[in-house]
Amino acid sequence: MHSNVEERLKKRLKDGKKEEQLETKRRKIPTPPLTSPFPRPPCIVYALSPRDYDVPLDEPSSSRLSEAIIRLISAGTPIWEGGSRTVVQISDDVVVKVGKDLEHDEIDFLKFLEEQVPGILPPRALGLVTVGPTSYMFMTCIRGTTLQQRWPTLFE
């Protein structure tokens, strides 16, 4: 299962690069920068640091950073797959949800659950990075019953 996820992630990266290159050629402008609705926490910045992945500090490159993200995720353990989404555990307390065009409002939904629904401990969003069509949502890892398992009982 691990190699299948790794192959799919590499294909997504390759497809994203092709799309990015075509768009760049069409518009004849530089590759668009990475986007993030809020700053990444220190643990994520460290995990993607240039010294670990040979990304020169003076040459920011979305393709090099996306390759570093893919390497980080490929070294992790897939813990859930469904449709166009995959969740990979990259450390004891951090997971990454990978998908095409993840909704940014999921961050607000997780905050709402934490504040308004007692008895549910949702993961905290640590950062969301989008490279081309693929989004990487970094979150805390919550051990225990999954939302998929709890969903049928939430409305009882």
User: For residue range 113-153, what is the model confidence (pLDDT) as tens digits?
Assistant: 888 887 778 888 888 887 777 888 899 998 887 777 877 88
User: For residue range 55-114, what is the model confidence (pLDDT) as tens digits?
Assistant: 444 445 566 777 788 888 889 999 988 888 899 999 988 999 998 867 778 888 888 888
DSSP state of 95: E
Threshold 0.85, pTM exceeds: no
Q: Which two tokens stand for residue 142?
A: 């919550």
Q: Which two tokens stand for residue 118?
A: 């007692």
* Predicted pLDDT at 90: 92
- Which is more confident, 14 or 148? 148
Say whether 143 sits in a helix, a strand or coil.
Answer: coil
Say whether 139 sits in a helix, a strand or coil.
Answer: strand
- Which is more confident, 16 or 86? 86
* Predicted pLDDT at 14: 64
* Predicted pLDDT at 95: 92
* Predicted pLDDT at 88: 92
Q: How far is CA 35 from CA 17, 128, 133, 147, 154, in A?
A: 16, 8, 11, 28, 34
* Predicted pLDDT at 83: 82
User: For residue range 32-42, what is the model confidence (pLDDT) as tens digits?
Assistant: 444 555 454 44
| Euclidean distance between CA atoms 43 and 69, whole angstroms | 14
Residue 47 CB coordination number (10 Å): 19
* Predicted pLDDT at 53: 43
* Predicted pLDDT at 43: 46
* Predicted pLDDT at 110: 84
* Predicted pLDDT at 96: 92
